[in-house]
Each structure stands twice: as C-alpha cells, then as structure tokens.
C-alpha cells in the first residue's frame, strides 16, 4: 500500500495542476458542467492512467468537473539523434524505479544521447461541456 501511495502522489500533483487550470478556464468561459475531459500523457512522464483517474475523481468533487469522464490518450515517445540522424521510438526498461528516478535514454542506433521530441508532455486536449438543455 505504501508503494501505491508514493506512486499516486506524483499523479495527484500533476492532476491538481491540470484541474486547477481547467477550472479557471471553464469558469472564465461560463461553463456550468463538464461531461468529458481528454488529456494526453507522454510515455516518458511515467504517469499511471489509473492513478490519474483516481486523482481526477478526488479533485473534481464539488466542482463543475464532478462526474465528468477522464479520457487519457497515451503518447508514445519519439527521439531524434544529432549524431547519426536516427528518429523514432526509444527503448528503455520499464523499471518501477523510474517512477522515482530519471531513466537514461540513449539512441538505439549509436548509443548517443538523443533529443526527446515527444513523450514527456501532459496536457489537456479537449473538454466536452454539458449544454444547459442536457442537464436534468
């Protein structure tokens, strides 16, 4: 149970920031209720989908997000190597220790340190609001 709490803390912190930004934006636009929230989560963020959903449910209580479905879109990583020109996915060991440490990523072709193009992001990509007529 202790390991679950530690892993969940990272997701909770990230989700708290997302929910806070989302609530500010929706309230500014006059939205009274959200039905669905879609987020993209990069593979190299090492965030757990179930932990994110749990944090979302917890943080959305008593807000306009309560009851909304959180859809997580997983984004695969992509790197570019300046040394050999490789561009593509990266291999790394899915070790639970990476939830606490940063994994070492190297080019699968030449072993150099590549630039990460995609896969670290966590962002809101869409929201479906409930129209006033839909609320019953």
Which is more confidently placed, 95 or 35? 35
**Is residue 69 within 8 Å of residue 35, measured between CB atoms?**
yes
User: Would the pLDDT of 38 be above 60?
Assistant: yes
pLDDT in tens, 78-122: 999 999 999 998 866 556 655 555 667 888 899 898 999 999 999
CA 89 to the chain's CA centroid:
19
Cα of first residue to Cα of last residue in the chain, in angstroms, is 39
Q: May I ask the CATH architecture of the domain 2-131? A: 2-Layer Sandwich (3.30)
Mean pLDDT value of segment 24-45: 94
Identify the three-state secondary structure at position 86: coil
CA 136 to the chain's CA centroid:
31
Record the pTM.
0.79
User: Would the pLDDT of 133 be above 70?
Assistant: no
Helix and strand numbers, DSSP H then E, in the chain: 2, 6
Alpha-carbon span 75 to 73, nearest angstrom: 6
């Amino acid at each position: 149970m202790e390991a679950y709490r530690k892993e969940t803390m990272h997701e909770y912190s990230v989700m708290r920031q997302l929910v806070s930004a989302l609530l500010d934006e929706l309230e500014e636009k006059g939205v009274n209720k959200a039905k669905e929230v879609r987020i993209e989560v990069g593979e190299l963020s090492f965030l757990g989908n179930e932990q994110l959903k749990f944090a979302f449910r917890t943080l959305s209580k008593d807000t306009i997000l309560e009851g909304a479905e959180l859809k997580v879109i997983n984004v695969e990583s992509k790197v570019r190597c300046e040394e050999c020109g490789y561009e593509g996915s990266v291999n790394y060991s899915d070790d639970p220790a990476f939830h606490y440490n940063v994994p070492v990523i190297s080019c699968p072709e030449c072993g150099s340190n590549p630039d990460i193009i995609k896969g670290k992001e966590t962002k809101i990509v869409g929201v479906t609001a409930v129209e006033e007529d839909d609320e019953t």
